[in-house]
Chain A
Amino acid sequence: MPEYVTLTIDGARIRAPRGMSVLDAALDHGICIPHLCHMRSFLDIGVCRLCLVEVEDDGREKITASCTLEAEEGMVIRAHTEKILKLRRNVAELLVAEAPNSRAIQDLAARCGVTEVRYPFHHASCVLCGRCVRVCSEVWQSRSLGMIGRGKETHVALPFNERPEYCKRCWACREVCPMTIAPCDGPMKEGEEYLCGKCASQLTMVEYSPDSCVWCRLGEGFQCTRQHS
């Protein structure tokens, strides 16, 4: 029997197994906190900073990512305050401005309330969410991919830029990549980027399971207009 803790998220009392992250606990109970780098049962690295929440700590308010925050007894979490929504919107805006050519990211941005992008678009092909690196090393134990470089030069790479023999060619890296899902009408042309806001996919293969948003059970948390069937 796992040990349980009780915490409060957005006013709802939630029971979660000890050791579970606040994000997983929230998602399990239908409180949708947008996220990009998080993948269930993978090591969380907390880099996309979309799943930010407010947590009360010794009477002080702290803002932190919920994927790397372990649920504790009596914890009080607020995931949808004005301040958090604004931060999330701004981070999502940065992400979509960097890589507008991804339905997953467009969709995330639209649902975080981004209606206008105030920066010139960069056409990056990677947002360094690290999903591919983790799926490669944690599921397939292959470690064929890694992050190299620092700061602006950081990028995902193969060892010495050559596909090693121990790469099992499973292409799980591509499947979990938020960039592999191109926007609805095909890749956008430079200078004609726009946010359609119509998609209601979440980050995975909507094609395989057309009727369910993958982690989002209720979608109310971020005012999702899509109805659960």
Chain B
Amino acid sequence: MDVVNAFRRELDRKGLSRKVALRVTGCHGFCEQEPLAIVEPENIFYCRIRSDDVPKIVSDTLIKGKILDELLYTDPISGENVIREDDIPFYRKQDRVLLGQSKLVDPCKIEDYIAIGGYTALAKVLNSMKPEEVIAEVKASGLRGRGGGGFPTARKWETCRKVPGTPKFVICNADEGDPGAFMNRSVLEGNPHSVLEGMIIGAYAIGAEHGFIYVRTEYPLALEHSRIAIEQARECGLLGENILSSGLSFDVRVARGAGAFVSGESTALMAALEGKLGEPRPKDVHTVEKGYRNLPSNLNNVETWADVPIIINNGSAWFAAKGTAKSPGTKIFALTGKVKNTGLVEVTLDTTLKTILYDIGGGAADGKEIKAVQVGGPSGGCIPAKLFDLPVDFEALTEAGAMIGSGGMVVMDEGTCMVDVARYFLEFLQDESCGKCAPCRLGIDRILEIVTDITMGRGTGKQLALMEELGETIALASLCALGKTSPNPVLTTLRYFRPEYEAHIREHRCPAGVCRALVHYAIDPENCTGCGACLKACPQDAITGEKKEPHVINEEICTRCGICKEECKFDAVTVR
């Protein structure tokens, strides 16, 4: 915000506010380099801007047309400065169908969205297409749900249309809750009208009268922007009675979630909408038949809705040509963890993990090797480096034991202990499980008990087989998708990184040096100069030694906090 205000002030001061249009946009996806500004029409890309850089940008680039080298992006491989946004490797390999719109619109201005062709898809649909034709078009595009399961969108719409019962509802699921995923948030914050347009088209195709956007309270900006978007659409006659004189009546409300991961599950979400406890119910009768208030309700993810206008405008063939035959189109992934270029990445679904991690992500952050990537959040799985040639389509990932899920990608390098990763995700799931059904509540608890045992060095060989059996039971017996996918992190780490588990159990050793109970800190007498820095820093007084003599760590007192290692300037503290 400081940067934006600085631009406003500076433009006013120079009397340029009428000549230069300042557009405050949503996220551009390149988190690592933000805040950033793009100067149009030259497409000059300035990154990591601070407010004191602003006067210079205005006086040099805007007025004199001079490019400021120090604010340009430096390609870490070639070491050269890149001027244009399109030439940056992070963006070059992407296909930013959805995210690309964000830089063109101010999310609080419907005019901006209309200026880039927004709501033309809706006009086209209302003027020239029957609801069945809309469904046929979406079906031909092969669009599959972007929220995790990958269910064919058109099939859902079709069922919902055919089911008797009125009124019908369309719901947008923006209850994104997994660690390291923020693509729904970005779309809703940066371009809420695209989601809204998709929902109106969907409502027309299905025959729905009411809509909800279910946003979690932790996303205040997304909430605010969706509310503003709905307000503006109403004023323009794009929501409400008789939309664009077509006879279609449809209105949308924003519903605030209370921040529960499990409420992203469709039945739980609808229970929460009704004001009940956000717990899933058995899904033998689908929500398209009996959903919100037992009425037909069609729920899709933010990204799925936003894809709809794009498909209508560009045609189903254009969309189907991207990606693979079974998984067409593009998908946004949130790239985080131990990778150089963290951020939002939109790629076609035939892109390999290697391309995403190395070409777009720029490889591991501090010169280490990437070991694995957790795809699909806590319900997804860890895919090891040897499988990085896999494309990110629905089937390939499921076969590898992971899933696209919402699209989170957490990158792990050599310094990550896979047993610890499994433990982290299990703890998350235990907190976020609704606690309703026995296999999920008790099962996760028991697996976590075992994994914790292993990280503490109390594990036994038998427990690995037990974990696999229990994981399978939870996957098959649980009530909802959260439970059914909850063992994935454990099962995939067991499948691909079994030697790490075995090292913990048999040798009482943590290969990555992460599990505190299994690592030993020691001082190498060769390197120790006896400076006393570690001795002073140790909060437990576990280090003893005379000045200028090698120091010693008392293992019984040492809590393995790692402070001595950070303090030592001579690399004398070893961890094994």
Which residues of chain A are near B430, meaning CB under 8 Å? 151-152
Minimal Cβ-Cβ distance residue in B for A50:
B438
Q: Which residues of B contact A (CB under 8 A)?
A: 260, 262, 277, 281-282, 284-285, 430-439, 441-443, 445-446, 449, 466, 469-470, 473, 476-479
Which chain A residues (28-50) contact chain B, with CB distance < 8 Å?
45-49
Indicate if the CB atoms of B277 and A147 lie closer than 8 Å. Answer: yes
Secondary structure dominating the interface of B: helix
Which chain A residues (61-75) contact chain B, with CB distance < 8 Å?
63-65, 68-70
Given A151-B435, A153-B435, CB of A68 within 8 Å of CB of B441: no
A127 at the B interface (CB under 8 A): yes
Minimal Cβ-Cβ distance residue in A for B285:
A70
Partner of B442, one of A45, A98, A153: A98
A-side interface residues, number (CB < 8 Å): 33
* A–B complex contacts, Cβ < 8 Å, 6 sampled: A49-B437, A49-B478, A52-B476, A90-B469, A90-B477, A154-B441
A128 at the B interface (CB under 8 A): yes
Partner of B441, one of A63, A86, A118, A128: A128
> In the complex, what's the smallest C-beta–C-beta distance from A86 to chain B, in angstroms?
8
A5 at the B interface (CB under 8 A): no
How many angstroms between the C-alpha atoms of A65 and B473 in the bound complex?
13
Partner of A90, one of B441, B473, B479: B473
How many angstroms between the C-alpha atoms of A226 and B516 in the bound complex?
53
A150 at the B interface (CB under 8 A): yes
How many angstroms between the C-alpha atoms of A104 and B430 in the bound complex?
27
Which residues of chain A are near B479, meaning CB under 8 Å? 46-47, 49, 65
A95 at the B interface (CB under 8 A): yes
Indicate if the CB atoms of B441 and A49 lie closer than 8 Å. Answer: no
Indicate if the CB atoms of B441 and A152 lie closer than 8 Å. Answer: yes
> In the complex, what's the smallest C-beta–C-beta distance from A26 to chain B, in angstroms?
16
Minimal Cβ-Cβ distance residue in B for A94:
B442
Minimal Cβ-Cβ distance residue in A for B260:
A150
A149 at the B interface (CB under 8 A): yes
A27 at the B interface (CB under 8 A): no
Indicate if the CB atoms of B477 and A150 lie closer than 8 Å. Answer: no
Minimal Cβ-Cβ distance residue in A for B282:
A68
Indicate if the CB atoms of A64 and B445 lie closer than 8 Å. Answer: no
- In the complex, per-residue mask of A172-197: 1 if CB is within 8 Å of any chain B CB, else 0: 00000000000000000000000000
How many angstroms between the C-alpha atoms of A69 and B281 in the bound complex?
12
Indicate if the CB atoms of A151 and B432 lie closer than 8 Å. Answer: yes
- In the complex, per-residue mask of A55-94: 1 if CB is within 8 Å of any chain B CB, else 0: 0000000011100111000000000000100110011001
> In the complex, what's the smallest C-beta–C-beta distance from A99 to chain B, in angstroms?
10
